[in-house]
Structure formats: C-alpha cells, structure tokens
Amino acid sequence: MNMFKSMAIGVAGLAMATVATVGVANAWEPTKPVDFIIMAGKGGGADKMARLMQSIVEKENLANRPLVPTNKSGGSGAEALIAAKKAADPDHTIMVTLNSFFTTPLRQPGIDVDIMSFAPVGRMAEDTFLLWVHKDSGLKTFEDFLAKAKADGNKWVMGGTGKNSEDNIITDFLNNNYGLDIKYIPYKGGGAVAKDVAGKQVNSSVNNPSEALGFYESGDMVPLVAFTDERLPMFPDVPTLKEKGADFSYFMQRAVVGAPGMSDEALAYYTDLFTKVYNSADWQKYKSSKSLMGDFMAGQALRDYWTTQRNRHESILRASGAIK
Amino acid sequence: MRRAEIVTAVLLGFFSVYLMWKSGEPPAWDPDVPRFANIGMIDGEGPGSGFWPFWLSAIMLVSCVWIGINWYRKKSPPSVSEEPFLDSYGKRTLFFVGMGLLGFLILIHIIGFYGGILVFMIYYMRFLGRHGWGITSLVSVSLVVFSFFFFDIAMRIVLPKGYLEPLFIPLYDMFL
Amino acid sequence: MEILLSLFNGILIALEPINLGLAVIGVVVGLFVGAMPGLGSVNGVAILLPFTFVIQSFTGGATSPMIFLAAIYYGAMYGGAISSITLGIPGASTAVATTFDGRPLAMKGMAHVALVAAALASFIGGTVSNVLFTAFAPLLASVALSFGNPEIFALMLLAFATFVGLGGDDIPKTLFSICFGLVLATVGFDIISGEPRLIFFDITGFSHGIRFLVLAIGVYGIGEMIWTINTSRYGSSMSKVDVSWASMIDAMKRFQEAWRGTLIGSLLGFFVGILPAAGATPGSLMSYGVTKMLSKNPKEYGKGAIDGVAAPEAANNSASTGAMLPMMTLGIPGSPTTAVLLAGMVIWGLQPGPLLFTNQPDFVWPLIGSFYVSNLVAVLVNLAFIPVFLWMLRMPFTILAPLIFVLSLVGTYAAYMDMFDVWLMVFVGVGAFFLRILDYPVAPAVLAIVLGPIAEPKLRQSLLLSDGDFSIFFTRPIAGPITVIAIILILLPLFKVIYDKIKGKPAEA
C-alpha cells in the first residue's frame, strides 16, 4: 500500500482488504517495481492505453509490484527503443509500442535496434483509422471527397500526427492511388489535429476513433471511409476503402514488448499478466467503446506479425522516398 | 574580469559557429543531401528544419561580436572591472562544491541515489560546513529515509540504486 | 439563473463528506508535490491516477475521482510558488516567473510577504477564473477552436514581446541569451521534417530535446546557488525572516500593493490558459511581462516587487482552471497535467468533447463546484503551512545549500527518469554560474526554452498552410492584430534608442 492510498482511504472511511491475490501459478515474479516505458508522450493514444493497463493492474491487484510508467517520446520512439535495449535489468523492463516500433529503426539506422530481439509479451489491440471531414464541408461520401480534393489540388489540407507517421502513410496512399495532391501538415498529437478539423483550420484528418469521438458525437466531424478490412461496429454506415475498390487497410499496433534479453520465465509471467488485463471487463469495455480491433496475440504469432509489419513498412517508406 | 569577458565572448562565438554548422546537418539516412540544404526557405513549404536554429545561431554570433566591440570600447561593466573573475575564495568554493557535485554524480552510478545522498551530505556538512557529527548524521540519514519513502514508496518514482539494489528488495516486500 | 442553480447543486455535491475529504487530501498532496523542485502537478496526478480507479469502484461515477485529481492540480499550483520563493528554484515551469521577484524578496528578509502574496493572488486568480469558467465555458470553447496555427504563433510572438525588457541592461548579452534558449529548444526531434536535429556528438540523451527543467533547475538550483555561496561569503543563513502573527498580518496588509498584478494575472492567465497548446506557463510569463510594462516603476521588477510575485501566481492558478476548458470541451490537453487528467476521464468512461456539458451535467457541475471548494481549501492550507516553509530559510547555509543541491539532482531525475538529464543539468548550472559573474542574463534563455518549442512548429505549420507566404500572419482576423501589436512592442525599445539619438540624449545605460 502506498502512503497516499492509506491516507486517502483512512479519511474517506473506506475499508479495503489488501490481500495479495497473485502469484499462485507463476514461478517467476518481479522483485522490484517494473519499468513500464511508453513509446510516446503524455496524452496520446499510447499513453492513455498504458495508463489504463496500469490502472487495471492496480485495481484488480494483478501484480505484486507496481508498473511505473515512464514516457520516452524522443526521436519518434528512438529514445524508448534505446532505453529498452540498454535496460540494466531486462526482466523488469517492458514497453508499450505503436507503429513507430517498425518505422523508427528503418528511418534511423544509427540507433542500431533489431526489433526481433524484443520479447513478444502481447498485442493488446489494433487501433483503426478513418477519414474525417468537417460537416460544413458538405461532403457525404468518399466519392464526394475525391472529387473535391482533386479539384482543390494542394489547397486541400490534411492534418496528421508527425512526418512519415501512420497518418502520413495513409495520406501518401490516397495521393498516389487517386492522383490527388493533398497537402500534409504534421502536428504533435492526434487531439490537436481533430481540434483543427473541428475548428476548420484544416480540411481533413485520418484520426483514430478515440481522438475524434467527441467531435463525432457533437456532429462536427463526419467519417467518410474506414481503413479497415471490415466495417466497424461503431460506424456501421461508413464503408471501408476495400469496398471502394482499393486493396488497402492500415492499423496501429498497440502491443506490450519486453526488453531484449528478457528471460523466458519473465516473458511467461508478463504474457500471463497482460492476458489477464486483456480479459478484464474494463479493457474489453474500452476496446469496444473506442472502436479498437485485434485479438490478443503473443509469442511466436506476435513475432510473425512483426515480421510482416516491418516488411510492409519498409516497402511503404521506400516507395514514398522516406528511406533508401 | 576584463580578460574573462573577452575570452568568454570568443568561446561563445566559436560555440555559435559550431551550432550553425551542426544546424545544417543532412539527415543520417540520406547521404546525398548536402550540408546546409535545410537552412533556407523551401519552395511552397516555408523554412526547412535547419532554418530556425541556423539563423538564431547566426544572431548569437553577431551578439558575440557586439560584446567584443563593447569590450574594446570598454562599454560594459565587466570589461572595465578590475576585480578578478574569481578570487581565491571563489576558486575554492567552486572547486569544493564542483568536486562534491561531480563525486555525487559518479556515486549515483555506483551506489545509487540514496548512497550518494548520504555521502554528499556528510561531505558537505561535516567537511565544508564543519558541523558536528551528531547533526551531520541526523540530517543526512533522515534525508535519505525521507527521500526513500517520498520517492520510491509514495510517489512510485524508482530512483537508481546501483550496487546497493539487493538491500532494497526486502524494503519493497515490506512497503509496496 | 439556470447556471447558478446548477452551480449551487454542484457545490453541494462537492461539499459531501467524501468529496470534501478527497479535496482536502488532494490539496495537501498537491501542495507538497508542487513544492518539491522537479515535481509538479503532473507527477501527483499521474501517480494517483490508478488509485482513482479504486475510488471509482467505491463511489461509482467519475465525479469523486476527478475532484480528487483536480484538487491535486490546484494544490500543486499553490505549492510551486513555495520552492520558487524559499529555495529560489522553480518547482515547475509554471512557477518560473515567480522566482524573478520572489527570490529577491526572500533574500531581503521578506519571504513571508512573498509567500502570503503568492497565496492570496493564487486564490483571487483561481476565483476569477472559476467565475469566468462557470459563466462562459461553452462560448469560450468556440474561441479556442478559432485559434489555429497562425494565431498561436502570433500569441507566442506577443509573449516574447512582453519580455523584451526583461533582460539586463546589456543588449548583446540579452540577445545572446534569448537566441541561445531558442536554439536549445530546437534540439531533439523536428516533427515537421521528421528528422532528428542538433544531436550533439550523437548522444541519444539529446534526442528528447533539452528539457525545460534541466535548464531551469540547473540555472537556479546549481548556478544561482553557487553564485550565492560565493557572494554571501561568510554569511550564515539565506535570510533572517521573522515568523510571527504580527508579521503575517503585516504581510497580508502589504498584499494591497499588488492589486494590479493580481488583476492582470487573473484575466490574462485565464485567457491564455484556455488556448490549447499554450497553457499555464506562457500565461504566467505574459502576465509578469505585461504587469511590468504597465507598472509606474518597472525598474523595481526583478529586485523584489510584490506585484512581480502576485501577477504570475494569479495567472498560473487562473490558467490551470482555464486549461480545463479545452480539455473538457475539445478533448485536447493544454499541458502535461491536463493530458493525464484527460486520460483519466477516458479511463473512467467519459467522452470529452463539445457535448460533455449537455450529456454529463452530473459530472460537470459537481466538478466545477469542487473548483470553488478546492480553491478555498488550498488557500487556507497554504497559509497555515507558511511558517513551516519560512523555517527552512533560517537553516544555516551549510545545511540548506547541500539540501538544495540534493533536491536539484533528485528532482531532475524524478521529472524525467533519465541520468543523462541530471548530468546535463549540473553542467548547465556550472556554465550558468560563470555567465552570471559576467552579467549575462539567464532568465531570457529559460523563457525561450518554454516558448520556443511551441512557437517554431506553429510558425512552420502556418507557412505550410500558406505555401510559405508570411502574409498569413497579417491577413487573418485574429492573428493579424496580435502580430502587429507584438511587432510594435518588440520594436519599441529600438524606436526609443533612435529617438534618443536624434534628440542628442545619451542612450540609456
């Protein structure tokens, strides 16, 4: 129990049994607080999810030592990758990753990180992307969008998170596949992008649902197309790009990895821990309310997924000229 | 102090030139881009990635030249000051405090923050401050205990412990 | 009327024993976390976020957890002033401007006046912004939406303009300091081009940029401290300060002198606070600058003006309430702390956005009610603790100095969890000590590193929007006037020099 907890509970008059209910089946258990690196800054999608996972672990008392989140957003995730690679104690170092896990080692070969050396703890979800415009634009369908963006040329502006990021990759695909000349403006975070679409500062975005939901509910932002394989349960009327004839879908991985050099026993422990988190009611509720896809995946299956994703990103980045 | 003024200005001038050179660095993955390709305005895009740091460093360089001119014309207070840059007391202070901080930093890597705090406090209070052993050990030990409970236990900010880590495992068992 | 009724109900809920208890605990926790150099409201809020899940499972609803975190946020804003004044180290970026006059006051033996002024100004700032928030929240949300990239850049330009006079008398050294801070702000990763920049000697530590607190704690905790040890020579303690009822009452009376700064800080802080991307730090800096500009005797600033403490403190409390607005109604955080609060709201199952006020009145109104309650609790708790903090100042120098060094190192580590930053902080501090002897002003560099990372991307995003055409800053209805005012203010000292030259007067030294 930590000090503030004790104080708070004392005053609030809440009686709570502090029985440790973990550690029945596991041979290995952490002996000190676990370093929980977040590969992004505070407030982004990855950060929110990491803090939710941490909260679930605390609430359900799943681990005997706390997870201590540390944001390392420097160099588009390079800082986090290096910190994990150099971790003094790999058994107590885990990291929440996104797609920069694939792109950053390609874009910055100098950091010399092999992503296959990381321990595959578990993939918690895949985040989805939709194309958003402001309701006042009058655009109702993806075809409307194509016509308008084509007519506007480079006066049509897309806001997105970072250069050569997920948002940029999707924008590049739209430009190349439909002969558009959309101008892409990088922002620091997805929330700021959504706000600028709602405030009509930019014309469109490819926000994750969780970032745009507030403005979707208020009716300011309208989704036109989903970059998924099947229609999203939350947006049943929004067609996928595949229905529109393009063989393209794109997801953001939300996975937990262990530092390179993590022992098999520790890996088994964390996989078990995050399986419990994944199966918790809170995680499932979050997953459905934010329109996340993807089942839990760990071990060799997750490694194979990484191989596919890395190769795919390599060819995408090469095609757009972001790497040689 | 007059000499220190111009020496500092020249050193900062060189530093500004280094920053200008560094700002023009091409991206690591693309050896074909020449240096200083990014410091101007890119057509239709506005300033490149090196624009802001390069030109600001250039202003820094101009400022250094300006400081030099003021020095030559004896316009700024330090350039006419007869006082030494650091007198013997100042040098001693800087040496003992500086060495103490350097030692503290190195110790953090070996025996961690808590060991380092203990050694640094004893060094400063006993040997620089000439306090008695009683008050020295009281303040040092209570600072270490307070820091551990404040940071590691209450705030969950795990400070590095170096080679002393095994000593803390039982404490985690008790308090976390 | 409807608003008043909702507010009244909200305050009643905030006064329920459990909520009031959580508010008191939150304020106390926040006060101490905020007073610790390096730690700020963001640490307190982030660390106790998982615990709110536990609160929620007892009380249901998101109201009590949010009241708890908001109280921490409030308490920390009060606490930040304490280390700025007593130790001379800004506890968080929001409290930097408080050191400018708070520290000189403490050195003069008037720490009690500064602390009381900070507490009362914070209270007034908090109250003013609560009233504005209550009355105009939905309207202000649309104002925030109309601020795009060019508008934010224009605002940053204005923030710089209010600081032109902040440096010392030596123009080239001030210029050097500003530019140096702005260059340091570009170290790290450039989001527009997606490339790393200025990674000195390929050390990975630079890839996250040179963090604000590394510079601030280095300059104030190490540099200023060594300088003080060197100049105070054989003096035994930082200052003689009188801790008695009479002196506290006297301090409260002297607060009357600070009405102007408090008023400016309360209003300006709130307005800057509601703009996304700006937040409480630029708000408090601008309030300090504007108060100084409008003052009858600006020469007193930096030497111990009570207004110079009241303005930034009123502003940072006002801005922190203001920053709740874009977080709740637009879902975008204006500061790291609101980013964590936002994560909290999402975790508790709320959807921030324009509809929050209409869809979740049961959450919104008790929370607003709790702002009023927490603010009152915070000022009382803060005033009660002032004698304890004053006692620290009376410690012998040979105990206080090593304590400050230890706090500087531990605080820097705690803020960023990176030993590289701790080394860099000490290195910066020793460098700042040398520059201090030669009269280089360091405050402009510290300010520049706060404003630079906001200003540069906004400039470039704007120019991307306009195909590289600078007229975008002048032709837009909101950005235009702000830019013009900022440019006039920046050039004002230059005009003055030219005017004096023509008149044949010697330029002011």
Distance from the Cα of residue A208 to its chain's centroid: 9
Residues of A in contact with B157 (CB under 8 A): 68
Report which DSSP code applies to B27: P
CA C64, A69, A102: angle at the middle one, nearest 5?
Answer: 125
A133 three-state secondary structure = strand
A5 → closest Cβ in C21, C51, C193? C51
Q: Pick the closest to residue A131 from A201, A41, A224, A195 (CA basis).
A: A224
The residue type found at B4 is A
B156 → closest Cβ in A33, A107, A324? A33
Whether residue A183 contacts residue A157, with contact meaning beta carbons closer than 8 Å, is answered with yes
Average pLDDT, chain B: 90
Smallest CA–CA distance, residue C465 to chain A, in Å, is 8
B3 three-state secondary structure = helix
Separation of alpha carbons C98 and A150, rounded Å = 53
| Cα dihedral across residues C319, C325, C327, C331: positive or negative | negative
Distances in Å between the Cα of A172 and the Cα atoms of A134, A177, A317, C231, C335 are 21, 8, 10, 61, 31
**Inside any domain, residue C295:** yes
Chain C residue with minimum CA distance to A71: C416
Position with higher pLDDT, C61 vs A149: A149
Q: Which residues of chain C have pLDDT under 50?
A: 507-509
Q: How many domains does chain C have?
A: 1
Domain range holding C283?
2-503
The residue type found at A266 is A
Whether residue A134 contacts residue A198, with contact meaning beta carbons closer than 8 Å, is answered with yes
pLDDT in tens, B59-79: 999 999 999 999 999 888 888
Q: Do B45 and C437 touch (CB under 8 A)?
A: no
Separation of alpha carbons A124 and A103, rounded Å = 19
**Residue A11's pLDDT is what?**
40
Report which DSSP code applies to A222: E
**Inside any domain, residue C433:** yes
- Residue B101 makes CB contacts below 8 A (sequence gap 6+) with C222, C405, C409, C426, C430
Lowest mean pLDDT among A277-286, B121-130, C211-220, C496-505: C496-505
pLDDT in tens, C302-340: 888 999 999 999 999 999 888 888 888 888 777 778 888
- Residue C221 makes CB contacts below 8 A (sequence gap 6+) with C37, C87, C88, C89, C404, C405, C407, C408, C411, C425, C429
- The DSSP line for C377-404 is HHHHHHHHHHHHHHHHHTSBHHHHHHHH
Average pLDDT, chain A: 87
Separation of alpha carbons C366 and C179, rounded Å = 46
Q: Pick the closest to residue C36 from C76, C94, C93, C2 (CA basis).
A: C76
CB pairs under 8 A between B and C: 177
| Cα dihedral across residues C186, C189, C194, C198: positive or negative | positive
Whether residue A110 contacts residue B27, with contact meaning beta carbons closer than 8 Å, is answered with no
Report the residue of C93, C190, C191 to disrupt the A interface, i.e. the one with the largest count of A CBs within 10 Å: C191
Distances in Å between the Cα of C32 and the Cα atoms of C41, C50, C385, C455, C464 are 10, 20, 10, 32, 44
**Inside any domain, residue C508:** no
**Residue C323's pLDDT is what?**
87
Chain B residue with minimum CA distance to A105: B29
User: Taking the model in full, what pTM does it have?
Assistant: 0.88
How large is the average pLDDT for residues A245-269? 93
Domain spans of chain B, in order of start: 2-80, 88-175
- The DSSP line for C260-299 is HHHHHHHHHHHHHHHSTTT-HHHHHHHHHHHHHHHSS-GG
For B100, the token pair is 């103490």
**Residue C277's pLDDT is what?**
67
B63 → closest Cβ in C175, C193, C433? C175
Q: Can you list the alpha helix ranges (DSSP code H) found in C87-148?
A: 96-107, 111-145
Q: Do B172 and A68 touch (CB under 8 A)?
A: no
- The DSSP line for B31-43 is TTSPTTTTSSEET
> Looking at chain A, which subunits does it touch, using at least 3 CB pairs closer than 8 Å as the criterion?
B, C
Separation of alpha carbons A96 and A73, rounded Å = 11
Which of C:191-210 have CB within 8 Å of B? 192-193, 195-198, 200
Whether residue C71 contacts residue C370, with contact meaning beta carbons closer than 8 Å, is answered with yes
Residue showing tokens 């007593």 = C86
Whether residue A41 contacts residue A47, with contact meaning beta carbons closer than 8 Å, is answered with yes
For C42, the token pair is 């963001």
Chain B residue with minimum CA distance to C43: B155
Q: Inform me whether the pLDDT recorded for A117 exceeds 80.
A: yes
Report CA Rg, chain A: 21
Residue B90's pLDDT band (boundaries 50, 70, 90)?
confident
- Residue C3 makes CB contacts below 8 A (sequence gap 6+) with C134, C135
- The DSSP line for A20-44 is ----SS-S---SS-EEEEESS-TTS
Separation of alpha carbons A238 and A141, rounded Å = 9
Separation of alpha carbons C472 and C150, rounded Å = 7
C347 → closest Cβ in A51, A69, A165? A51
Separation of alpha carbons A269 and C461, rounded Å = 45
**Residue B109's pLDDT is what?**
95
Q: Pick the closest to residue C327 from C314, C315, C316, C336 (CA basis).
A: C336
Whether residue C265 contacts residue C310, with contact meaning beta carbons closer than 8 Å, is answered with yes
Separation of alpha carbons A234 and A232, rounded Å = 5
The residue type found at C461 is Q
Percent helix, strand, coil in chain C (nearest 5)? 80, 0, 20
**Inside any domain, residue C350:** yes
A185 → closest Cβ in C193, C195, C464? C464
Q: What are phi and psi of A120, to 5 degrees?
A: -80, 90
How large is the average pLDDT for residues B3-32? 89
Separation of alpha carbons A239 and A230, rounded Å = 8
Q: Do B131 and C399 touch (CB under 8 A)?
A: yes
Q: Do B49 and C456 touch (CB under 8 A)?
A: no
The two beta strands, A157-161 and A183-187, are parallel
Distance from the Cα of residue A130 to its chain's centroid: 14
Whether residue A58 contacts residue C51, with contact meaning beta carbons closer than 8 Å, is answered with yes
Q: Do B157 and C417 touch (CB under 8 A)?
A: yes
pLDDT in tens, A64-98: 899 998 888 877 888 899 999 988 899 999 999 99
**Inside any domain, residue C509:** no
How large is the average pLDDT for residues A271-293? 93
Which of A:91-150 have CB within 8 Å of C? 107-108, 110-111
Q: For residue C111, with 0-12 CB atoms within 10 Å meaning exposed, 13-18 middle and 19 or more buried, which class applies?
A: buried
Interface contact A205, partner C, CB < 8 A: no
What are the structural domains, with CATH classification, of chain A? Answer: 26-127+251-320 (3.40.190.150), 130-226 (3.40.190.10)
